[in-house]
Amino acid sequence: QVQLVQSGAEVKKPGSSVKVSCKASGGTFSSYTINWVRQAPGQGLEWMGKIIPVFGTTNYAQKFQGRVTITADESTSTAYMELSSLRSEDTAVYFCARVVSKSGSYSHFDYWGQGTLVTVSS
Amino acid sequence: DIQLTQSPSFLSASVGDRVTITCRASQDISSYLAWYQQEPGKAPKLLIYAASTLQSGVPSRFSGSGSGTQFTLTISSLQPEDFATYFCQQLISYPWTFGQGTKVEIK
């Protein structure tokens, strides 16, 4: 059974950076594609980007380009999402999730981490 | 970016009711649509993918249909554990986007 376990809640000052981790178990990490999705309080879901760990290739949503960096460490089966220049609007729960590929196309997110609350406050 | 618009945004229903949620895409997304259920304080849970394929372990009262720009999620007989928020998601083009959500509450 695949499990994605994320790091704990963070409180950050405006202008600083945060790095959230997502450790995978129960499968072959090198075959995964890991995504990051955030959810502001009482709001919907927003896709931030993804990484294919075995290649290190990434895709980012234009909205976060230049502020987000997604990396992965195959030796520890862990993906990371770092968001810089934090502002109050970045206060949200950040989720990692695995996307499934079928017939060469991405299909759905089947496993999700438990979420990490990042609070940005002075 | 592809916009997904869900309707209604809020739905009040009783146990046993048949419930239908619609997701409309701003452009043709073929069948690259997934549906998720989210309970408060929890991660989303996959229900349906490829517009109409039921994820393993999901009760058969959930079904999905549609292609192109119009999709529906149907719960044939609402159960107490189904009161939650539902999201659709497109995965045909970046950035992958979600609908704004439909909250299903007890009448």
Of B82, B62, B41, B97, residue with least CA distance to A45: B97
- Say yes or no to pLDDT of A103 above 90: no
- Residues of A in Cβ contact (< 8 Å) with B49: 100, 107-108
Q: Which residues pair with A39 in a beta bridge?
A: A93
Q: Are B3 and B98 in contact (CB under 8 A)?
A: no
- Residues of A in Cβ contact (< 8 Å) with B71: none
- Say yes or no to pLDDT of A104 above 90: no
Test B46 with A109 for CB contact under 8 angstroms. Answer: yes
- Say yes or no to pLDDT of A88 above 90: yes
The predicted-structure confidence for A33-44, as pLDDT tens digits, reads as follows 999 999 999 999
Averaged pLDDT for residues B48-71? 98
Q: If you count them, how many residues does chain B have?
A: 107
DSSP state of B68: T
The predicted-structure confidence for A51-79, as pLDDT tens digits, reads as follows 999 999 999 999 999 999 999 999 999 99
| Four-residue CA torsion sign, B39, B42, B47, B50 | positive
Confidence of residue A121 (pLDDT cuts 50, 70, 90): very high
What per-residue confidence (pLDDT) applies to A30? 84
- Residues of A in Cβ contact (< 8 Å) with B96: 35, 47, 106
What per-residue confidence (pLDDT) applies to B39? 97
Averaged pLDDT for residues B67-79? 97
Confidence of residue B56 (pLDDT cuts 50, 70, 90): very high
The predicted-structure confidence for B15-51, as pLDDT tens digits, reads as follows 999 999 999 999 999 999 999 999 999 999 999 999 9
- Residues of A in Cβ contact (< 8 Å) with B45: 112
- Say yes or no to pLDDT of A102 above 90: no
Check if B95 contacts A (Cβ < 8 Å). Answer: yes
Best probe of the A interface among B3, B94, B100, by most A CBs < 10 A, is: B94
Over chain A, what HEC string results?
CCEEEECCCEEECCCCCEEEEEEEECCCHHHCCEEEEEECCCCCCEEEEEEECCCCEEEECHHHCCCEEEEEEHHHCEEEEEECCCCHHHCEEEEEEEEEEECCEEEEEEEECCCEEEEECC
Test A44 with B101 for CB contact under 8 angstroms. Answer: yes
For chain B, give the mean pLDDT: 97
Best probe of the A interface among B96, B97, B102, by most A CBs < 10 A, is: B96
What per-residue confidence (pLDDT) applies to B38? 98
Instruction: Return the structure tokens found at A28.
Output: 């072959």
- Residues of A in Cβ contact (< 8 Å) with B44: 45, 95, 97, 109, 112
Q: How far apart are CA B49 and CA B10, in angstroms?
A: 22
Of A2, A51, A60, residue with least CA distance to A26: A2
The predicted-structure confidence for A2-35, as pLDDT tens digits, reads as follows 999 999 999 999 999 999 999 999 989 988 999 9
Q: Are A6 and A116 in contact (CB under 8 A)?
A: yes
* B107 CB-side CA count, 13 A: 10
